[in-house]
């Protein structure tokens, strides 16, 4: 292995054994891939689950840094900035899932990046891929005046429980979980695979914690609002529920048709009640029937020591007053303040990040939170420190008023780095913010209208839950193509905390989108009732005339009046060309038979390793995965399509067991494999199940060897 690839041994010895093993495995896989010993698609699936994502630009990677519920300390932030300077572009990008991304990383440097992050307690594991993604939560959790209790320990418990958990390593698609701090649902539980909102009730004179639970939501090209699975789920049932839902999704979820592989399609395909019946059927097999969350597992934010702060006047008095009104709120801990920092498009230069971290250490607690709209939240700022904090943030360009207002646009990186983006989301965002600040200055106080932009229909910028949303596309005009945006209206979080999905209204050349926003805002100013929420105004107008907004905006979509500038995207000088690559976000591919059998053998090793560590539930699930992978290998060799785990099981009975090509105990592959859901995860059952799958793999190898012999 080249010295360039190797991570320093002294550094590896400082980090936890599981992370060390992960990093060494990533090094080995990269070397095998470079030596043409590892299939491209197989390697892609592997690295994605380790946070390494291919960019639009050839030969470089985006590395996604997983920060559960957006928590990052000044020390960690400085380390991330240093790493970005050494191995990436000099920029940190905050995401709507409270991660930090760095771009333009050489593949060979990914293990070094990971090791240096692990030294300060940060991981890449399962930041991308067909896994449980970063678990998000309201950034205000712990200080929210309206919260019933702090959801942070529960989000942390879920993160720890499912990290490297066998049940969620190779699902059909990604799985997203959120925890909101109050009924306002500021973490958007209504559009997650699972969303949790705290609830409290009294039983026998004692306070009992629990959650309202949303299930089966999602955005993307076909958004779904989640079902309410429980109005009150006791807190000790939170982890068991997540595991049972994931197990059902893993077994029954689509795997071949990537665009239909999310949980929302399974739930809506078989019906919510049928899905919940399957969930109920998994309860016996899980290792934790009740999981007591350690409420003290996450260190409570402690304010820094009292100190004397200078009483200098604010550098810009009017800006300071606006900042206090829009970016600062008093915590539930009286006398302390939460301070939100507006970060334009979530992009922070590394030099700025280091200065920002120093300011945090001076004025706030160590518990910085990344917000779901790509900003920052500082905690435990004393009242007397607010002026000094403002002045220092203002020097860095980080004291703009209007956090989470109309002028605080959320946008994905779009065509800057993403393979799937069709038109620029960042360029148009900058133009819209500039236009609104100049022409509608009072919008910094308006938290009624949210604008969100994605570079494509996949909704990384969450445009489908925006009051005014855009997603990138292109329009053909004769022999030419121009960059465009689909405009959507009426989505977002309603005043009562419920969610709404935006309606598609019209497709517009992207250069005309600022005019569209001007028109919509002017119409709202003129015709909305006093204090009327934007979505209520929108619904009232289309109730009277469903084409109301289409007719107003249609002249902007007219192609006969195009100019040369309409063929140039925002932020560009060259003529627009459609360039869409292959998406990497949890791609699903069918592997070659030999590769599948090698993978099956790997899974068997993991099952044996888990058994030897007395992790019997994990061993059982790895044995189950071995059964599935082995059966898939032989079905693939016969050109039989494999869409779901349950389909693989049934197809194997039909094409191999019923035809006498393979024999299993009891004569039914389905009964053999699925008995894992009928037994408690005991040592005795784990041993028997492991022996059975070992025998099965021996038969798979023999069948494959015979086929190769016959077919040459």
Q: How high is the mean pLDDT of the chain?
A: 92
Q: Give the domain ranges of the chain.
A: 9-118, 144-285, 317-395, 411-567, 593-711
Taking a C-beta distance cutoff of 8 angstroms, is the pair 268, 224 a contact?
yes
pLDDT higher than 80, residue 69: yes
The mean pLDDT of 316-333, rounded to a whole number, is 97
Taking a C-beta distance cutoff of 8 angstroms, is the pair 89, 81 a contact?
no
pLDDT higher than 60, residue 541: yes
Q: Looking at the domain 317-395, which fold is it?
A: Alpha-Beta Plaits (3.30.70)
261 three-state secondary structure: coil
Residue 644, beta-bridge partner list: none
Query: What's the pLDDT score for residue 585?
Result: 52
For residue range 570-607, list pLDDT tens digits in order.
Answer: 888 888 887 655 455 544 333 357 778 888 998 999 99
Report the percentage of the chain scoring pLDDT > 70.
97
**Nearest Cα to Cα of residue 220 among 457, 571, 509, 390:** 457
CATH number of the structural domain 593-711: 1.20.120.330
For residue range 407-452, list pLDDT tens digits in order.
Answer: 999 998 887 777 777 888 889 999 999 999 999 999 999 999 999 9
Residue 212, beta-bridge partner list: 197
CA distances from 552 to 171, 490, 591, 614 (A): 45, 16, 51, 66
Sheet hosting strand 368-370, strand order edge to edge: 71-72, 368-370, 376-382, 336-341, 328-330
Confidence at 55, pLDDT banded by 50, 70, 90:
confident
Counting every residue, how long is the chain? Answer: 712
Identify the H or E element spanning 46. Answer: helix 40-48
Task: Look up the pTM and report it.
Answer: 0.92
Point out the least confidently predicted range of 44-53, 138-147, 515-524, 668-677: 44-53
Query: What's the pLDDT score for residue 592?
Result: 57
SS3 for 453-488 is EECCCCCCCCHHHCCEEEEEEEEEECCEEEEEEEEE
CA distances from 334 to 144, 383, 412, 427, 523 (A): 11, 10, 36, 41, 41
Identify the H or E element spanning 379. Answer: strand 376-382
Query: What's the pLDDT score for residue 590?
Result: 34
CATH number of the structural domain 9-118: 3.90.480.20
Answer whether CATH 3.40.50.300 is correct for domain 144-285: no
CA distances from 650 to 37, 375, 407 (A): 33, 48, 54
> Class for domain 411-567, per CATH?
alpha beta
Query: What's the pLDDT score for residue 583?
Result: 52
Distance CA 412, CA 373 (A): 10
Query: What's the pLDDT score for residue 651?
Result: 94
The reply to whether 144-285 and 411-567 are identical in fold is yes
Could you tell me which residue, 189 or 1, shows the higher pLDDT? 189
Distance CA 535, CA 518 (A): 17
Distance CA 55, CA 104 (A): 8
Could you tell me which residue, 414 or 263, shows the higher pLDDT? 263
Query: What's the pLDDT score for residue 439?
Result: 95
Half-sphere CA count of 71, side-chain side, radius 13 A: 23
């Amino acid at each position: 292995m080249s010295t360039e690839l190797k991570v320093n041994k002294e550094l590896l010895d400082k980090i936890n054994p599981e992370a060390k093993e992960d990093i060494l495995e990533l090094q080995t896989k990269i070397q095998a891939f470079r030596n043409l010993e590892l299939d491209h698609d197989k390697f892609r699936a592997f690295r994605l689950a380790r946070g390494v994502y291919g960019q639009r630009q050839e030969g470089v990677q985006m590395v996604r840094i997983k920060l559960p519920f957006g928590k990052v300390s000044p020390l960690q932030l400085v380390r991330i900035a240093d790493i970005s300077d050494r191995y990436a572009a000099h920029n940190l990008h905050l995401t709507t899932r409270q991660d930090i991304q760095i771009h333009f990383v050489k593949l060979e440097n990914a293990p070094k990046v990971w090791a240096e992050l692990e030294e300060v307690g940060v991981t890449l594991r399962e930041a991308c891929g067909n896994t449980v993604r970063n678990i998000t939560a309201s950034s205000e959790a712990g200080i929210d005046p309206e919260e019933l209790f702090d959801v942070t320990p529960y989000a942390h418990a879920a993160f720890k429980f499912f990290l490297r958990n066998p049940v969620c390593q190779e699902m059909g698609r990604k799985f997203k979980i959120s925890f909101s701090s109050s009924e306002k649902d500021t973490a958007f539980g209504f559009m997650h695979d699972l969303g949790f909102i705290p609830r409290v009730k009294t039983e026998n004179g004692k306070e009992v914690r629990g959650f309202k639970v949303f299930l089966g939501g999602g955005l993307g090209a076909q958004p779904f609002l989640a079902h309410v699975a429980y109005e009150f789920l006791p807190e000790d049932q939170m982890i068991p529920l997540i595991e049972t839902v994931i197990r059902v999704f893993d077994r029954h979820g689509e795997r071949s048709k990537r665009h239909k592989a999310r949980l929302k399609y399974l739930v809506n395909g078989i019906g919510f009640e049928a899905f919940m019946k399957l969930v109920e059927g998994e309860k016996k097999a899980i290792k934790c029937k009740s999981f007591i969350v350690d409420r003290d597992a996450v260190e409570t934010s402690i304010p820094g020591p009292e100190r004397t702060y200078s009483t200098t006047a604010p550098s810009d008095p009017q800006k300071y007053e606006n900042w206090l009104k829009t970016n600062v709120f008093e915590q539930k801990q009286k006398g302390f303040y939460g301070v939100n920092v507006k970060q334009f498009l979530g992009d922070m230069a590394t030099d700025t990040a280091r200065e920002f971290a120093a300011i945090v250490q001076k004025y706030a607690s160590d518990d910085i939170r990344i917000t779901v709209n790509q900003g920052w939240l500082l905690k435990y700022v004393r009242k007397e420190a607010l002026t000094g904090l403002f002045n220092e943030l203002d020097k860095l360009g980080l004291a703009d008023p209007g956090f989470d207002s109309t002028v605080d646009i959320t946008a994905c990186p779009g065509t800057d780095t993403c393979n799937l983006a069709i038109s620029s989301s960042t360029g148009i965002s900058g133009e819209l913010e500039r236009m609104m600040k100049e022409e509608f200055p009072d919008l910094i106080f308006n938290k009624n209208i949210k604008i969100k932009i994605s570079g494509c229909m996949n909704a990384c910028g969450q445009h489908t839950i925006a009051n005014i949303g855009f997603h990138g596309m292109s329009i053909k005009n004769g022999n030419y193509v121009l960059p465009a945006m689909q405009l959507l209206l009426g989505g977002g979080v309603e005043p009562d905390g419920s969610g709404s999905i935006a309606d598609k209204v019209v497709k517009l050349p992207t250069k005309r989108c600022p005019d569209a926003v001007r028109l919509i805002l002017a119409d709202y100013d003129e015709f909305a009732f006093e204090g009327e929420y934007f979505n209520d105004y929108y619904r009232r107008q289309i109730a009277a005339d469903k084409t109301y907004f289409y007719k107003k905006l249609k002249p902007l979509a007219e192609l006969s009046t195009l100019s040369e500038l309409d063929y140039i995207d925002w932020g560009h000088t060259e003529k627009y060309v459609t360039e869409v690559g292959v998406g990497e976000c949890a791609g699903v591919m069918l592997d070659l038979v030999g590769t599948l059998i090698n993978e099956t053998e790997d899974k068997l090793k993991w099952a044996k390793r888990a058994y030897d560590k007395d992790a019997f539930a994990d061993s059982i699930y790895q044995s189950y995965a071995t059964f599935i992978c082995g059966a898939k290998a032989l079905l693939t060799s016969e050109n039989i399509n494999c869409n779901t785990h349950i389909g693989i099981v049934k197809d194997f009975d039909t094409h191999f067991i019923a035809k006498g090509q393979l024999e299993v105990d009891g004569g039914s592959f389905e009964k053999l494999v699925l008995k894992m859901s009928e037994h408690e995860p005991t040592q005795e059952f784990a041993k028997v199940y492991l022996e059975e799958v070992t025998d099965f793999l021996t038969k798979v190898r023999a069948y494959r060897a015979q086929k190769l012999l016959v077919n040459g």
